[in-house]
């Protein structure tokens, strides 16, 4: 993977300041509108992935066709939620089990209450262990879902589990590289923004920089995923 290119391609676009600026405005409006505008940012990331996969010389897309950007972001968000449903269901079961000891205590059955308390503790221990396993699995699956959607252009393709797992299996090292690099860069950006925000004058820079960091990272993530998608498609690396 050309990791360096994923971080420099943004500034190679003649209109990059405008494009990142629009993304920053969308991030700013996100919390004000229940996070709905942020789906546009997810869609924009997918547009970058699509452009890189297709070998576009300047893959940073224009902010146009907001309807498609929104729907792409919505589809990927829904797909990821569906993948988390089994774990959400498990948590709901654990919550119900946790309520049972209190209900038993009200009935005055101390023996049953003790058993149910122990059972609830055991259930939550199992949930904690499964949470770790699920987190590791989702670490790989989430990027694969995005890549699968961009490759096919079909929402239903996100649930062709064999193909999604195939992407993870065949490109696990690339996904790890992309994730580790993004985590490090995000940490550096957040540390820089926090340091600037600690000073009065720096705060003036920290706010716009913080807003711009999100579309920049979205574009970078999209580029890294696009490189993986291009490999799957068997296309030359024009990025």
Backbone angles phi, psi at 59, to 5 degrees: -80, -5
The pLDDT tens digits for 56-107 are 999 999 999 999 999 999 999 999 999 999 999 999 999 998 888 888 777 7
Question: Hey, what's the torsion of the CAs at 101, 107, 110, 116, to 10 degrees?
Answer: -20
Q: What is the largest CA-CA distance in the chain?
A: 74
Note the pLDDT tens digit of each residue in 33-48.
999 999 999 999 999 9
Residue identified by tokens 């490189």 is 227
Question: 236 pLDDT band (50/70/90 cuts)?
Answer: low
- Is residue 60 exposed (0-12), middle (13-18) or buried (19+ Cβ within 10 Å)? buried
> Pick from 22, 19, 10: which is nearest to 59 by CA?
10
Per 3-state DSSP, the chain is made up of helix, strand and coil in percentages (nearest 5) of 85, 0, 15
Position 156 scores a pLDDT of: 96
Does an H or E element contain 63, and which? Answer: none
- Tens digit of each residue's pLDDT (9 = 90 or more) over 119-157: 999 999 999 999 999 999 999 999 999 999 999 999 999
Q: Residue ranges of the domains in the chain?
A: 3-233
The DSSP call for residue 56 is -
CA dihedral 222, 224, 230, 233 (to 10 degrees): -80
Output 239 or 171, whichever has higher pLDDT.
Answer: 171
Count the neighbouring beta carbons within 10 Å of the beta carbon of residue 93. 12
């Amino acid at each position: 993977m050309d990791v360096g290119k994923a971080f420099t391609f943004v500034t190679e676009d003649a209109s990059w300041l405008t494009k990142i600026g629009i993304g920053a405005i969308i991030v700013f409006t996100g919390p004000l509108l229940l996070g709905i505008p942020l789906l546009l940012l997810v869609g924009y990331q997918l547009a970058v992935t699509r452009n890189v996969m297709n070998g576009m010389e300047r893959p940073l897309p224009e902010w146009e066709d907001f309807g498609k950007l929104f729907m792409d972001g919505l589809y990927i968000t829904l797909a990821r939620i569906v993948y988390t449903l089994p774990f959400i269901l498990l948590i709901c079961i654990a919550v119900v089990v946790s309520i049972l000891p209190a209900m038993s205590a009200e009935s005055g059955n101390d023996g049953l209450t003790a058993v149910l308390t122990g059972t609830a503790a055991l259930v939550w221990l199992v949930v904690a262990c499964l949470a770790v396993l699920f987190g590791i699995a989702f670490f790989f699956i989430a990027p694969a879902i995005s890549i699968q959607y961009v490759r096919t252009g079909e929402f239903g393709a996100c649930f062709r589990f064999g193909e999604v797992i195939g992407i993870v299996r065949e490109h696990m090292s690339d996904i790890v590289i992309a994730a580790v690099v993004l985590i490090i860069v995000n940490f550096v950006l957040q540390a820089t923004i926090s340091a600037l925000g600690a000073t009065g004058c720096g705060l003036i820079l920290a706010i716009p920089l913080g807003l711009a960091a999100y579309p920049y990272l979205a574009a970078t993530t999209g580029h890294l995923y696009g490189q993986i998608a291009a490999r799957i498609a068997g296309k030359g690396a024009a990025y």
